Amino acid sequence: MPTAPQSTAPIGVFDSGVGGLTVLHELLVALPQEDFLYVGDSARFPYGDRTPAQLRAFSRQIADVLLERGAKLIVVACNSATSSALQDLTAHVAHSGCGVDVIGVVGPESNLAVAQTRSGRIGVLATPATVASGAYERAVLAADPLVKLTSVACPQLARISQDGAPITEADVDLARMYCAPLREAHVDTAILGCTHYPFVGALLQRLLGPQVALITSGTAIARRVQHALSTRELITPRTGEGSYSFLCTGDADAFAEVGSRFLQLPMGAVDHVELADASTSEVPA
């Protein structure tokens, strides 16, 4: 029988690349005593172009890696994976009998956006997979059915962030095109529905205008994680600083170089983890 999670065990976090480090940054600030283990699936980036069946297969695979390393909680720091795979992944982890909770980014972000808006007009910038899933529509309208939601698929925006290259005028024009429907809808709140997007947050804020509040995953998910740990009595008894470590499926040196800008803290060593090819895997809905 699997053992129950221990309070001294690490919190597992995963994303398709370095974008989820923006979420990890907020977790490290909000929960400095906790240990964290982050998996970046950079070899299969971007998730936003994957099918729901592939995202379910990838998410199961990475969750198993985290569980093997004793994670006491799993945070899906990827909006595409959360949108397409969270329900399946939660059932998969529950079936293992380990008693580990799974938390995704869409619900906390949506609730925060509904609480923030004054006009009831909310925009979402997200990957094609996330927009196609309808996850934000369901989450936002569940929180407030009167909200008017405008969703825009941004197929190239995550790549700008992941590459870590200087932003070009072509990138600005691309972002301007993505932001145009939100400006036309007069939104006062915009959800950055991909954990890579905070890297270009200043650009998006300029294009949308200072009156538009940008909602990111980090702050919202940190609150949810704190609540989950407290409810499960899994808050670490440690009083000093915890540790954090990294695994990635692609080039470890490249991951560390770009990731340090997202994390805004020293990265240290990044270890490579080899996962079986699941690019053609089909996990039924």
> What's the pLDDT tens digit per position in 179-236?
999 999 999 999 999 988 988 999 999 999 999 999 998 878 988 999 999 999 999 9
For residue 169, with 0-12 CB atoms within 10 Å meaning exposed, 13-18 middle and 19 or more buried, which class applies? exposed
Architecture per CATH, domain 11-104+219-272, reads as 3-Layer(aba) Sandwich (3.40)
Per-residue pLDDT at 1? 44
Containing 122, the helix (H) or strand (E) segment is strand 121-126
Its CATH architecture, for the domain 107-217, is 3-Layer(aba) Sandwich (3.40)
pLDDT (0 to 100) of residue 15 = 95
Q: Do domains 11-104+219-272 and 107-217 have the same CATH topology?
A: yes
- Domain extent listing, the chain: 11-104+219-272, 107-217
DSSP collapsed to 3 states, 204-273: HHHHHCCCCEEECHHHHHHHHHHHHHHHCCCCCCCCCCCCEEEEECCCHHHHHHHHHHHHCCCCCCEEEC
Instruction: Tell me, rounded to whole angstroms, the distance of Cα 33 from its chain centroid.
Output: 21
Active site members: 78, 194
Residues in the chain, pLDDT under 70: 1-2, 162-164, 278-285
Q: Model's pTM, two decimal places?
A: 0.88
pLDDT at 282: 58
What is the per-residue pLDDT for 77?
Answer: 95
